[in-house]
Structure 1
Amino acid sequence: MQGYVARANIDHYIGLLNGNDLPPHNRDTILKLLIAEEDTLSHDLEHLEFAESRAASGRQRLNHLMGLRSAFAPGTTERAQADRLLVNFERLQTLLDELCHRLRDKVSSRGV
């Protein structure tokens, strides 16, 4: 049950972080909550698969956003907003990739 709640919370936090209307202070708080929730996951293959699927989805979103960003002319307000959003997505993707790496290390050390 605890694993289910942790995965649901992680999905919720990722959804919030994917929004573009989140103030920086709230974004930092949600990032801290996301990291804390990730740490509650047990280190088994099921949670590794969950983390890898979220990281793969994040990479797809990041690539999509990069394409959208390039459609805006440099120096425009839209481009500046897309640049800020891209930085936030890159930070989130780094966290997701780090989670996968940590879980892979834990799972492999257990011999699963």
Structure 2
Amino acid sequence: MHRFVAKANVDHFIGLLSSSDLTPNKRRDITALLVAELHKLAHDLEHLDFAEKKVAEGREKVSGVRSMRNSHRFGTTERQQAEDLLVAHENLQTVLEDFCHRLRVKVVGRPL
């Protein structure tokens, strides 16, 4: 049951971190909560599949936000907001990629 809750929390925290409305302190705190939940899942192959799915979804999200940012003209408020959101998604993606890599090494015994 606790693994189900941990996965739900991961999804929730990723959703929160996808917002551009977070202050740096709130983003830091939510990222710490996300990392704590990810560590609860760092045990077996089933969770590696979950982590790899989140990484793949994150890559798609980063790509989409990058395209959205590129659709705005330089120097506009919209471009700056999109740039801030892109940075947030890239940082989140780094957290997810790092966790997935560490879990893969732990479960499989080697990185891919």
TM-score (norm 1): 0.93
In structure 2, give the amino acid aligned to 1:9. Answer: N
Distance 1:55 1:108 in 2: 17
Tell me the percent identity.
51
SS of the aligned residue for 1:43 comes to: coil
- Residues 1:44 and 2:44 are matched in the alignment: yes
Q: 1:107: Cα distance to partner?
A: 0.5
Could you tell me whether the CA contact under 8 Å between 1:6 and 1:37 is conserved in 2?
yes
| Alpha-carbon separation, structure 2, partners of 1:38 and 1:54 | 11
The one-letter amino acid paired with 2:65 is L
Q: How far 1:42 sits from its partner (Å)?
A: 3.7
Q: Whole-Å Cα distance in 2 between the matches of residues 3 and 97 of structure 1? A: 20
Inter-partner Cα distance in structure 1 for 2:101 and 2:37: 16
Residue 71 of structure 2 is aligned to residue 71 of structure 1: yes
Gaps of 5+ in 2: none
TM value normalised by structure 2: 0.93
Matching of residues 1-112 of structure 1 within 5 Å: 1-109=1-109
- TM-superposition CA deviations, 1:42-64 (whole Å, max 9, x none): 42110000011011001001001
In the aligned structure 1, how far is the partner of 2:42 from the partner of 2:24? Answer: 30
Runs ≥4 residues deviating over 3 A: none
* Paired residues, number: 109
